[in-house]
Amino acid sequence: MIKRTLFFGNPAYLSTRNEQLVVRYPEEDRPEKTVAIEDLGYVVLEDPQITLTNGLLMKLVQNKTAVITCDRQHLPCSFLQPLVGHTEQTERMRHQLNASLPLKKQLWQQTVMAKIENQARHLLARQKRALKLRRWAREVKSGDAENHEAIAAAYYFQHLFDLEGFSRNQKGLPPNNLLNYGYAILRAVTARALCSSGLLPSVGIFHRNKYNAFCLADDIMEPYRPYVDALVYEIVETGCAIEELNKNLKAELLRIPAMDVVIDGKQSPLMNAMSRTTNSLYECFLGSSRKLMYPEFE
């Protein structure tokens, strides 16, 4: 089942009644609206004047709904995750924490190979050359000791957008703003799936930063980034204004969880594919598998 994504960009009062999310607005002429909580996958809160009841937060967390808040620049800045995301959470976390360094290096090798291959496929889909990316994907070694991930990313962004002066930089020129927003949504999708699989999003297989609570999410989302890039590319190609993130642009980027991807030869919404990826990660930690399941860009 595809879960819904709700975006709130104006002041609102959010509460719950009869397992429904109830939306009321300050304006008296706007009617009350309700949405079934079980249908929700993501709730994005942007306006600082949004009020939520604790009862609603409790039900959203119990439903494993990702509650995402935004900062003053309107970019997602936090993600509310449950204390208990899976019935076997303690055992699953123990396997994750006991994972050996060689296993982590092999998992990162698979992740980088999948990311570079998907970047190559995306370039080819745009009628751009990708022979170097294909070669680098095959040359990735355990732990990516030669840092092919960074080398490939630099080449990829140099050739993806036909925009003068563009370079991938969080504070750079548009469409960096669209990429930042899209990656933040993708990060929340990944963290939600990791929690649902009973894993700790903060303990990565490659990323290590004591100030980063989502190291593992940053690892696992890597091969999914080209899907965000593809959506941003399509937005840029329309010729619409992208200097500021307006409501229409955000609406397009909030389609990311429901985007169609192909994983294990079958088409699936991205949010469902991510759950298959995080479950395959647990199986690797458990020792019942040695292969991470990632989508293949088409």
Considering the domain boundaries, does residue 245 fall inside one?
Answer: yes
Range(s) of the domain holding residue 68? 4-80
Q: What is the pTM of this model?
A: 0.92
pLDDT at 87: 84
Shortest CA distance to 231 belongs to which of 133, 128, 126?
126
Q: Are residues 75 and 104 in the same domain?
A: no
Q: Are residues 70 and 96 in the same domain?
A: no
Among 30, 61, 80, residue at a domain's last position: 80
- Tens-place pLDDT, residues 232-267: 999 999 999 999 999 999 999 999 999 999 999 999
Per-residue buried b or exposed e for 12-22, using 16+ beta carbons within 10 Å of the residue's own CB: bebbbeeebbb
Above pLDDT 90, what percent of the chain?
A: 87
For residue 172, CA distances in Å to 15, 89, 243 come to 38, 40, 11
Q: Are residues 276 and 142 in the same domain?
A: yes
Is pLDDT of 77 > 90? no
CATH number of the domain that 264 lies in?
1.20.120.920
Considering the domain boundaries, does residue 294 fall inside one?
Answer: no
pLDDT at 282: 97
Residue 222 is assigned to a ligand binding site: yes
Q: Are residues 107 and 194 in the same domain?
A: yes
Among 41, 62, 80, residue at a domain's last position: 80
**Number of domains comprising the chain:** 2
Cα dihedral 5, 7, 13, 14, rounded to 10, equals 10
Q: Are residues 39 and 128 in the same domain?
A: no
3 state DSSP class of 78: strand
Among 26, 47, 80, residue at a domain's last position: 80
The one-letter code for the residue type at 152 is A
φ, ψ dihedrals at 157, nearest 5°:
-75, -20
Task: Report d(CA 110, CA 124) in Å as an integer.
Answer: 21
- Tens-place pLDDT, residues 81-99: 787 778 889 999 999 999 9
Is pLDDT of 1 > 80? no
- Tens-place pLDDT, residues 181-229: 999 999 999 999 999 999 999 999 999 888 888 999 999 999 999 999 9
